[in-house]
Structure formats: structure tokens, C-alpha cells
Amino acid sequence: MSIFLTVLKITGIVLGSLLGLILVLILLLLFYPFHYRLKAEKHEEFKAQAKVFWLWHIISVTADYNKELKTYIKVFGIDIYDLKKRREEKAEKKAGKKSGKDSDEVLTSEEAEALRKEKSGNEEYKVKEPEVKETDIKRTGDNKADDEKLIKDESVSEKSSKSSKRGRQKKRKRKKITFGQFLDRLEDKIFDFIIDLPDKVAAFWDNITGKIEEFIGKIDYYDRLLGSKGAEEVIKMTKYRVGKILKPFIPKKIMCSLDYSDEDPGNVAKMWQYYAMSIPLRDGIPGYFDMNAVQGEQNVELDLTVKGFFFLGPILWHTALLVLNKKFKLFIKRLKREES
């Protein structure tokens, strides 16, 4: 009995420790930050690297671009997934299969000699077919009648082909029209167009007015749908939750230096416009953004580093609160029903 209790005790300790380890890992995944880093530079060539790592680089996912894209995943510094290596291995396997097939088809000299002897031996024992003499062939009356029918069919087909060619040539020849006839036809067409013009204008106006009414109806429908009391609450809640989900992905630091030159002054002005548009987006983010855009020989020099981190737990929490919300579900169902 005591042995049974000790075994139960040991298994309980092992299971408890495993459950505790799993719980610790889950808590770390939810509440220990995932760091991300983006680097890009353009001097002579363009290079870029995007990396996401967790818990002192124990797990890291990297996408590196330098003339070609490389993607790999590391756990404790060991490559567990390398996209380039996997492609090379697949290519080697395909090449190995092809070479195996080719090697099966290639024979050695001894095998070729044996096959040649077998073929020569088989040819010696082949049964010769009896020769047919011309005197043995006799034409019957039926054969002569068949030949005459074939000759008649050939002559008929030749005549039909000639007649079809003549018909095509006649069709190709256009009838000559005098200037007076051309004016008469033009007058008839103009007269027909003037007669049909009111009907065409009315049909066009009916089509345009129908589309305008349909468009106004859609605006009124969405105005009523989105302006209702329940819809306003759902939209406010959705904005709040989506903001909470996206907020952790805002960079914590941006360091950028850009030297831009172009012969077209319009492109230089656009670069300064983009720089001015980025100022509100970078408000409150530490770092620097230095840009120098001038008119001159076309050239781009870039050094960019973006750093940040996010917690998985709050993102999953706000996503679940949004997706599982009853009002949000009903609103989405209503939109789908109305659209269908």
C-alpha cells in the first residue's frame, strides 16, 4: 500500500510540475513583450530586415532581404525553419529523381551488347512473309466500279471547290457607288438619327435618373442604418476596441535619415509634402526623422530603424471582447442580411 501511495505521490508531483510549467509558459506568452525591429538602408543597394523576437531571443522570426528574400525561424539559436534551405532541398530532390530516371535509361556496354545479340537472334528466326506477285492480283468488276465512283467523286469535289472560289471572288468585289448614291444614303442615316434622337435621349435620361435614385437610396439606407441608436453604440465600441488592438503596434522609437535628390522639382516638392504629412503621425514617438530633399541628379540615400514591442495578452483580450459582443454580432448579421 505504501508503494502505491509513493507512486501516486511521484506522479502527482510530476503532473503538477508539468502543469505549472505550462501555466508559466502561457503567462509569459501573454504578458511578456514581443519585440520587433525593422531596419532598411539604401546606399548602393537596397537592404532590409524585419525581426520579431521573444524572451531574450529564445524564439525569433526573421525576414532578411539582400538581393533575395530569406525567411527563417530560430529557437535557442537553432534554425528550425529556413525557407531558402527548404527550397534548395526540394530542388535537389527533384534533380535527384530526374538523374535517377536518366541513370535507369543509360545502359552499360555489356548490357547493350547483350541486347544487340538478342535482337539479331530474333531477326534470324522471324517468319518471312510470302511475296505477292502482280499476276496474282486480279481486278473484279466490283473493284472497277468502285474506282469509277472514286473518280466521279473527285471530279465533283473539284468542281464544287472551283465554284466556291468563284463565289468568294464575286463577294470580294465591291459594288461601285456613285457620289449621288452616297449622298442619298448619308441623308437617310442623318434623317433616321434625327427621328430616333428623342427616344435615345429619353432612354439615357431614364437610365441616369434611375442610377441617381438608386445611389440616393443607398445613401439614405446607410444613413438610417448607421445613424440608429444601436448602431451608434456598436460603432463607438468597435472604434474603441480596434484602437486598443492597434495601439501596441505603434513604434516606440524611429530613427531615420533620408537624402533625396531629383531633377524634377515637382517630385522634390512632393517629398517635402510627405514629410509634413508624417509629422502628426510621429507626434510623441521618440527618435529623429532627418530629411534633405534638393533638386539635382536623381539619388536616394536612406537609413531607417524602427523599434517597438507589444503584449499578446491585451490584444487577445480586446479582440475577444469585440468578436464575442452580442450587439456587434447582431449588427454584422444585419449588415450581411441587408447586403444579400
Question: Domain extents for the chain?
Answer: 32-103, 162-227, 230-339
Residue 248: closest CA among 85, 31, 10: 31
| Mean pLDDT value of segment 48-60 | 91
Mean pLDDT score across all residues of the chain: 78
Percent of the chain with pLDDT over 70: 67
- Greater confidence, 182 or 55? 55
CB 313, CB 30: distance < 8 Å: yes
Q: Supply the pLDDT for residue 133.
A: 45
- pLDDT digits 0-9 by tens, 30-44: 999 999 999 999 988
R_g of the chain computed on alpha carbons: 42
Give the residue-averaged pLDDT of 287-302.
91
DSSP string, 26-90: HHHHHHSPEEEEEEEEESSSEEEEEEEEETTTTEEEEEEESSSEEEEEEETTEEEEEHHHHHHHH
Q: What is the mean pLDDT of residues 314-321?
A: 93
C-alpha cell of residue 263 = 531633377
**pTM score:** 0.57
User: Residue 247: is its pLDDT beyond 50?
Assistant: yes
Q: What is the DSSP letter of 131?
A: P
**Is the predicted pLDDT of residue 192 greater than 90, yes or no?**
no
Q: Rounded mean pLDDT of 143-148?
A: 54
pLDDT over 90 (residue 199): no
